[in-house]
Amino acid sequence: MPSGGSSSAAAVWAILRKECRSEWRTRYGLNAALLFAVTTLTSVSFAAGRLSDRTDLLGALLWVVLLFAALSSLSHAFVREVEGHTLTLLRLVASPTTIALGKLLFNLVFLAVIEAVTVPLYLALMGAPPPRWGPFLALLGLGSLALAAAATLIGAVISQTRGRGALFAGVSLPLMLPVLAATVSGTRAQWSGGPIAAEARLLAAYTTALLAVSLLLYDHLWED
Amino acid sequence: MGRLLVFLWIAAWMVAAFVWAPLVPVLGETTRVLYFHIPAAWVTVVALGWSMLHSILYLRTRNLEHDHHAAAAAEIGILFCVVATVSGSLWAKAMWGSYWNWDPRETSIFFLLLVYAAYLALRSAIEQEERRARLSAIYSALAFVSVPFLMFVVPRIYFSLHPDPIINPRGKLDMDPRIRIVFFAMLVGFTGLYAWLQSLRVRVARLEHRLDQA
């Protein structure tokens, strides 16, 4: 691992690999998140039944399920470090920006795994008509990137508070609401055959703004 | 002295709102919500801006005085936000027939309420003063990113619920000059009220800080 405060691509990659490896060792975070996502999915599906002809509801409920999965699990990357008392060591070998970027990529991978399980299951359980895959996957990707960007910085902040995980959902919700609004309207349009360019642009712009501000703020994350 | 002036000013224009300013035809008696609801919403936005500004200043200077300002503005902001939300909701019941309908305006004010609440919840979860100041400033700066986006996205989605003719009869374009005078006077009064509350809250925070140090 490179020493000092370098935030080169190699260092970020090293952090990502370290994250994946330590997650794979216990899979505690992943298991909990998957279980939670499937639980949410089950309750939504059980409560609403099959909604084959209501694509407006299908888009909304899909993103509610994904948002809940993200809210329940994405603080894990930082909380784990604090609980395992490994953060100090991590900070010795990498700059705050490097750590945060590595965790951001990890959160993205994490979300992708959750979605790979949840989304097909959702489409099957709810009896959804087949989506237009191009726009659908584009929205999933952009939405996940935006969720991960918001969750990384908030997760780092929340891990330093008293309640740790407990506050995460409430505090990150205001940042995730624009994502929810845009992805829901895009997914709906995708099913009804409309264009999704406006929503995709919005998501891209929002993610860019979040990332730009995050990059300015990462340096302030730890001081004591 | 200042607070007496604010009190008299608001009281005087409140009377004027009832006896001097005319009513707008469509709005009828509900016209007068204009003099309370919009100034309260205005103060909410001013307070949020003030809080964000001082959060960023804190990150740059690490002067706790900025943190006092940011926290005070958020606390007063949430108070005015509740006033604006409740008065708007009552007005919506009278005009639109329901208290809550996710009209874009309702959404954006509700969203501000969420941001403030999360900010204060975050603050209450951190004990050490510098850390609290730093982390809540980070949150505040990041949360500000989402404000313009939400105001822009939401109208696209909930538009269908509120066709223009229902939203429009605010009659803002051909506002009677007397209504305009009372309205702007109330805006000035509310801003003065906010400035007074803010200075009061900052002084309390300063004293609390000194007590902690002792």
Domain segments of chain A as ranges: 9-220
In a domain, residue B185? The reply is: yes
Total tally of structural domains belonging to chain B: 1
Q: Is A207 exposed, middle or buried (0-12, 13-18, 19+ CB in 10 A)?
A: buried
pLDDT at B153: 65
Question: Quick check: B42 and B191 in contact, CB under 8 A?
Answer: yes
pLDDT at B158: 57
Asked if B161 has any chain A CB less than 8 Å from its own CB, the reply is no
In a domain, residue B160? The reply is: yes
Question: Quick check: B198 and B64 in contact, CB under 8 A?
Answer: no
Q: Considering only residues 131 to 160 of chain A, which have any Cβ-Cβ distance to chain B shorter than 8 Å?
A: 150, 153-154, 157-158, 160
Would you place residue B178 in the very low, low, confident or very high pLDDT band (cuts 50, 70, 90)? Answer: confident
Percent of chain A's residues with pLDDT above 90 = 42
Q: Write the CA distances from A132 to A30, A153, B74, integer angstroms.
A: 29, 33, 44
Residue A3 in this model has a pLDDT that exceeds 80? no
The torsion of the CA quartet A57, A58, A62, A65, rounded to 10 degrees, works out to 50
Contacts of B152 in chain A (CB under 8 A): 202
Would you place residue B97 in the very low, low, confident or very high pLDDT band (cuts 50, 70, 90)? Answer: confident
Across the interface, of B122, B126, B138, the residue whose CB is closest to A220 is B138
Question: Quick check: B198 and B72 in contact, CB under 8 A?
Answer: yes
Please report, as a single letter, which amino acid is at residue B201.
R
Give pTM, 2 decimals: 0.85
Asked if A217 has any chain B CB less than 8 Å from its own CB, the reply is yes
- List the end-to-end C-alpha distance of chain B, in Å, as a whole number: 31
Residue of B nearest to A171 (CA): B118
pLDDT at B116: 85
Q: Which of A24-33, A114-123, B59-68 has the lowest mean pLDDT?
A: A24-33
B177: which residues sit within 8 A by CB, 6+ positions away? none
Which among B77, B102, B71, B80 is positioned nearest to B89, based on CA atoms?
A: B102
Q: Do B118 and A170 touch (CB under 8 A)?
A: yes
Q: Do A202 and B152 touch (CB under 8 A)?
A: yes
Residue B21 in this model has a pLDDT that exceeds 60? yes
Across the range A76-102, mean pLDDT stands at 87
- Of the two residues A195 and B30, the one the predictor is more confident about is A195
Q: Write the CA distances from B92 to A83, A199, B110, integer angstroms.
A: 48, 29, 14
In a domain, residue B19? The reply is: no
* Residue B118 C-alpha, separation from nearest chain A C-alpha, in angstroms: 5
In sequence order, what DSSP letters do the residues of B52-103 get, joined into one string?
HHHHHHHHHH--HHHHHHHHHHHHHHHHHHHHHHHHHHHHHHHHTSSS----
Q: Do A174 and B130 touch (CB under 8 A)?
A: no
Q: Do A157 and B138 touch (CB under 8 A)?
A: yes
Query: Which residue of B115, B135, B136, B153 is the best one to mutate when testing the A interface, meaning the one whose CB has the most A CBs within 10 A?
Result: B153
In a domain, residue B118? The reply is: yes
Would you place residue B159 in the very low, low, confident or very high pLDDT band (cuts 50, 70, 90)? Answer: low
Interface pTM (ipTM) of the complex? 0.84
Backbone dihedral region for residue A49 (phi beyond 0: left; psi -120 to 50: alpha; all else: beta): left
Question: Quick check: A179 and A192 in contact, CB under 8 A?
Answer: no
Q: Do B157 and A181 touch (CB under 8 A)?
A: yes
In a domain, residue B102? The reply is: yes
Domain with B90, as residue range(s), is 34-165+178-213
Asked if B115 has any chain A CB less than 8 Å from its own CB, the reply is yes
Rounded Cα–Cα distance for residues A158 and B72 (Å): 21
In a domain, residue B137? The reply is: yes
Query: Which residue of B122, B149, B156 is the best one to mutate when testing the A interface, meaning the one whose CB has the most A CBs within 10 A?
Result: B149
In sequence order, what DSSP letters do the residues of A166-192 get, joined into one string?
HHHHHHHHHHHHHHHHHHHHHHHHHHH
Rounded Cα–Cα distance for residues A35 and A89 (Å): 31
Asked if B159 has any chain A CB less than 8 Å from its own CB, the reply is no
